[in-house]
Structure 1
Amino acid sequence: MTDPIRLNLRLTFPGGVPLSHGKAELMELIRETGSISQAAAKMGMSYRRAWLLVDELNHLFREPSIETKQGGKSGGGAALTAFGEALLKRFRTMEKRTMKALSDDLDWLAANRADQAPDPGAR
């Protein structure tokens, strides 16, 4: 059995700022862990990179998607705002709708692809 063809939805806003599966995964992991650093670690990225993505998300819309609280005695943390929850849900719904809309084409591509990916060094 071969792996299925995957589809990744990427929305590009004016100015070139993307909203894609990576930011959606980061949001899900922040919701799950309550921490930007733990979410970053689970994704194999640096805390700085994750923080920059959170900052980008928070400035992409009228409302922030992720709220943070400073560390200290009680510890820091992060959580999705109500807007962030709505954004994540809507993005995941758009992904599902895109997959459904393209399912016949993806099936056709899968039925007609070679069993193995071509060797990039072979000519």
Structure 2
Amino acid sequence: MPLVGPLKIKAQLRCGSDFAMGPGKADLLEAIDREGSISAAGRALGMSYRRAWLLVDEMNRTWKRPLVETVAGGGKDRGAHVTETGRQVLAAYRDLEARLVESAGGEALARLQRLLLDEPRPSQKGA
């Protein structure tokens, strides 16, 4: 997720009550594109195959066309690939993130930063 000083910018797109796209799903799409499979993409991101598959399923159910297509089994032309729609969604999402970073901050962020500690104080809980 992009950071602007201490500000973490997290854009999430919803479709009804589901999240159609967010930073984790964008990272997963990039990993699928790079790795050529959902399981390898999940491993590269430190998530289980089941979690990766559920995220892909949610993405494919929330866009007009699937973002990821799969062909069962191993070997040549098997695994998963990001569709053209998936590439368009990913590019537009990354552009949105960049634009949010560009527009973030200004005087409002500067005022907050002046009031923010560099590090949190130790917890007083249990003391």
Q: TM-score, normalised by structure 1?
A: 0.84
Aligned counterparts of 1:91 and 1:107: Cα–Cα separation in 2 = 26
Show structure 1 runs of 5+ residues with no match. Answer: none
Q: Which residue of the partner structure matches residue 71 of structure 2?
A: 69
Aligned counterparts of 1:54 and 1:44: Cα–Cα separation in 2 = 15
Aligned counterparts of 1:114 and 1:99: Cα–Cα separation in 2 = 22
1:110 and 2:113 aligned: yes
- C-alpha distance 37-5 of structure 1, shift in aligned 2 (>3 A): same
Aligned counterparts of 2:37 and 2:74: Cα–Cα separation in 1 = 14
The one-letter code sitting in structure 1 at the alignment partner of 2:118 is D
Aligned counterparts of 2:31 and 2:75: Cα–Cα separation in 1 = 23
Q: 3-state SS of the aligned residue for 2:101? A: helix
Aligned counterparts of 1:34 and 1:106: Cα–Cα separation in 2 = 40
Q: Which residue of the partner structure matches residue 51 of structure 1?
A: 53
Q: Which runs of 4+ in 1 moved over 6 A?
A: none
Aligned counterparts of 1:13 and 1:84: Cα–Cα separation in 2 = 16
- C-alpha distance 118-75 of structure 1, shift in aligned 2 (>3 A): farther
Kindly state the Cα deviation for residue 30 of structure 1 after the two structures are TM-superposed.
Answer: 0.6
The one-letter code sitting in structure 1 at the alignment partner of 2:33 is R
Identity of aligned residues (%): 36
Q: Which residue of the partner structure matches residue 17 of structure 1?
A: 18
Aligned residues: 119
RMSD of aligned residue pairs (Cα, Å): 1.9
- CA deviation string 1:8-29 (max 9, x = no partner): 1122221x21121000000011
1:37 and 2:39 aligned: yes
- C-alpha distance 35-108 of structure 1, shift in aligned 2 (>3 A): farther
